[in-house]
């Protein structure tokens, strides 16, 4: 899959690397802005205590 993505991207290797890093940054940004807040509303954390 990664090899196919690498071959689909245009340009020399350094342009491909920049495009790939931009795509990864966009995916991480999307996770932090939309996905993680949405999931945090659905999942309620349990109160946990460590007894000793």
Please give the pLDDT value at position 52: 58
Under 8 Å between Cβ of 16 and 6: yes
Residue 17 has pLDDT above 70, yes or no: yes
| pLDDT tens column, 23-52 | 999 999 999 999 999 998 888 777 777 765
Please give the pLDDT value at position 50: 75
For residues 13-32, give the mean pLDDT.
96
Q: Residue 48 to residues 36, 42, 45, 51: CA-CA distances in angstroms?
A: 21, 18, 9, 10
- Long-range CB contacts (< 8 A, 24+ apart) of 41-46? none
Domain boundaries, the chain: 2-40
Q: How many CA atoms lie within 13 A of 26 on its CB side?
A: 6
Please give the pLDDT value at position 36: 92
Please give the pLDDT value at position 1: 75
């Amino acid at each position: 899959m990664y090899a196919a993505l690498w071959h689909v991207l245009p340009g020399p290797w350094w342009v491909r690397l920049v495009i790939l890093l931009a795509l990864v940054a966009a995916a991480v940004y999307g996770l932090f802005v939309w996905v993680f807040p949405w999931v945090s509303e659905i999942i309620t954390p349990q109160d946990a205590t460590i007894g000793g």
